[in-house]
Structure 1
Amino acid sequence: MKPAASSGRRTGAGTTWMAWSLERPPIAPHNRAMRAPARPDNEADRLSDLYDYGILDTPAERVFDEIAALAATVCGTPYAALTLIDGERQWFKASFGISLRETGRDESICGHAILERELFEVPDTCKDARFNDNLLLAGPPEIRFYGGSQLTSARGNNIGMLCVLDGRPRELTPAQRVALDQLANVVMAVLEASKGSRLQSWLGTLFDRIAEEVFITDPDTLRFLHVNATAQHALGYSLQQLRRMTPMDVTADRRRADFEGYVRQLRAGAANVVFEGTRRRSDGVHYPVEVRWQLLETGGRPVVMSIVQDISERKQVDRMKDEFISVVNHELRTPLTSIHGAVKLLQQGAGGPMPAAAARLVTLAADNTDRLRRIVDDILHLEQIASGKMEFNLEPLDAARVLDQLAHGYETAAAAVGVALAVLAPENLRLTADPQRLHQVMANLVSNAIKFAPRDSRVLLEAAPAGAGRVRLSVTDAGPGIPDHFRERIFQRFAQADMDSRRTKGGSGLGLSIAKQMTEHMGGSIGYESRPGHTCFHVTFPEVSP
């Protein structure tokens, strides 16, 4: 079929092309997917070079638009494009005569073209087995001709193509081939020349998008050198205003001497300095922050980078927690203690003889007030540890005596559920710990073991040298074991496993979390091994030399 003539008329700044129309052979219905291009052996290096140019997903630029238009004019084609081949896509930096932003890499001719070292030309896509079944080339606009020159990085990796396209079969002249190669070289020269500024612009964009306030400060004058957009928005100042300011201008509770002291700590070798303070906005509003300072060397000029996080929500949570602890301590613990004392007196007969039904109710009340008291104590202990108010007085302790006292204290409770307690500990084995806190830790482990040990079984309390100057205390039971799904959170607050048992387990789910924190505050460690029929919790502490 004879092609219709093209008017090629230009309108305004762009060009309107009346594409050649040729009858395209039908695509076979059983084979409609184009052959995907292979990935080159240098794919990792190729992508690294591409990303180094910082060109992907950037706005249109006139220089590249003009090069694409010039390529089309020189080669006499209605379409041209400057494409970059990313991992899974073909992205268009510039185009002429067509409007595309990106397509899949596997459907692109350019994906094949970057595999070659010389100009890549397809005179008729309908007669090329690689492309004759590509629906994308069927249009609109229909693509029958492709010619492209590789965009090659300084390391020799092809990152994309400068290509020209036509709706009719054709070939480039030798002069057009040379011109297309030269224009591709111009593209790479522009990319190389702007590489540093593009990278700087990209890093600046990332810097501004960081959620925390970030400041770059001169350690000598304390003036801000640069501030990200988050900080500008939070404080209500422009970058130009902040560059004339110092941390003292935006901090309500710190003096210059404080900040100079932080700089001295950093110069003395501190990895970072962390402190809390109160930020002051331009409108006078104050808000609490956590500030982290770090000294960085930048080409011989040290700077302080400070990352500032708004902790208003954290402070609100802390206030709510303090109010809750106050309620627990004064509004719940005090009356609960009175109720518990009254119930115990009734159990001891202070109110006179009671019918059997009443006695059972009083016993039930006593058991539940005991449980509530333990939960309240756990909550208060957890708060004391977190706030640093709990004291730890370390002293030498005899391991055997510690375990004997525990066994004696839990003997009645264990016997009530058909469990025997046994102690295995050598003489003269001593460790360092706080006697009261160690008793709390071990009592929790023994109590848990009794809860889960089957009737007519034994719970073993054992002490032994652990090597490396450590003593190991362990509590072993023959219970069902710890479920796999629960093991990762066993030491978390309020963690409780769902395990079937003949007895109600109760508890707050705080015991093991408290035990772990107390153990670590005493210089110890806690762990466990568990399988069905065998669970062993153990703690280790520094050994006292004989």
Structure 2
Amino acid sequence: MNTSLAQEFECEAIIPHHKWWQSALMVFAVLCFCTLIGSYVANFLDHENVIMIYLLGVVWIASQCGFRAALASCLLSIASYDWFILPPSFSILPSDPQQMFTFAIMAVVAVVLARLTDSLRMHAKLRGQQAELLDLTNDAVFVWSLTDFKIAYWNTGAEKMFGITRDQVLGRNVKDLLRGSRAPESFLQQLLEQGQWNGEVTYQHTDGTPMVVASRLMIKRGEDKSPIAVVEFCTDISERKVAETRIREFYSIVSHELRTPLTSVFGSLRLLESGTVQLGTGTSEELINISRIEIQKVIGLVNDILDLQKMESGMLEIHVNPMSSEELLRNTCKGMQVLADQSSVELIRKPADDVVFNADYNRILQVMTNLTANAIKFTPSGGTVTIQAQMQNPEKIRFSVEDTGCGIDEKQFPKLFKKFQQLDSSDSRQFGGTGLGLVISKSLVEQHGGAIGVDSIVGQGTTFWFDLPIAGDVKVATADAPIDRL
């Protein structure tokens, strides 16, 4: 690795920092040392040579403590040298003017060196602050040499993004370490010509997980303006790319869900318009009934999209009033009976205590309808779907929809209530639907202060449930009626 390049991006200051009292102690210690040595060597060396001892001490103080300490040590050196070394001893001013000139030279050297030291210290401080700022960003920032492709700098964001520490990467070849979808040579020519390059690259995390990053590369030039290194900024956009894919799939599904019923309605209207099917006949009534059902599907889809938009903007209104759990289950079954009959699925409502609680009836009915429709849709012919309500405790009631379908793998649970996502794209074509029902249901339940969840065993069936708080007095009436089979 290029040593100078690595030093340039080193985060720690190369000039030490001392407090004022530490500098004072260092000045005192150095002057005492110089005076002792000077007093000893003055017996067999010229006084001019003794001055060099003090000069070295002042130079060291200047390099360690800066301008003020250097100036103070210079003045104190003059006093100490004149007081203890020059004859006659303990005099205030030197008897030889040449000594004053020598000390003046020493003072100039000390001041220049101290100023240089302060400048280096400030430069190092700014470099350290710059490195701290780079470490605060979530983006990965790293630098690699153009000569040997070895990494010279690696910030904290890069450590988090790639799962590799700074000590593990410094000095390693970027091509070997970060195996991406594009090798550096593929965009190096453009980078050298334009000074920068922007694009998407797929890198791999240390655990093997692919990451799509938005990469921005810039050329760093040396003092002679020649390119010496590449500064690369990477933003992890993997989640954004996944979201974009889901949105594209969602648009495709919505288009399909809209086109299919509208095509059916359009075909029915063409038959009636052309006179192929006469109004008032059994066939025309069937076409009208089919058109009505298909239009209801379109209206339902549009309502789902509008509800989702209202939820995201915080504009969905909830009107809470007392409602009956038994009435909710009964109306859910009535609304879903046609779909259950068409799917040859038995819809069962278990008897339970009738509980009166506070909620928005239309919205909770919407949740129950969504869950029941999903259960019927994914239950094979001859299966059963059971809905019920149970008191969990005096403050909470649970509604559940149980089916005898194929079940859901537990690993798929996190995907169930996510926007624009279905468990399998083939399901969206085989069973229909946009995948918005569970998202909307979750939001509605949570706006009521409740919770929604799922239990499932693969090959046996699935139970979706949601809990709602009971506000106010709870009315319980024992239900002795037999199980309703609708």
TM-score range, shorter chain: 0.3 to 0.5
Q: TM-score with structure 1 length normalisation?
A: 0.38
**Of the two, which has the highest radius of gyration?**
2
Q: Which has the higher strand share?
A: 1
Q: TM-score with structure 2 length normalisation?
A: 0.42
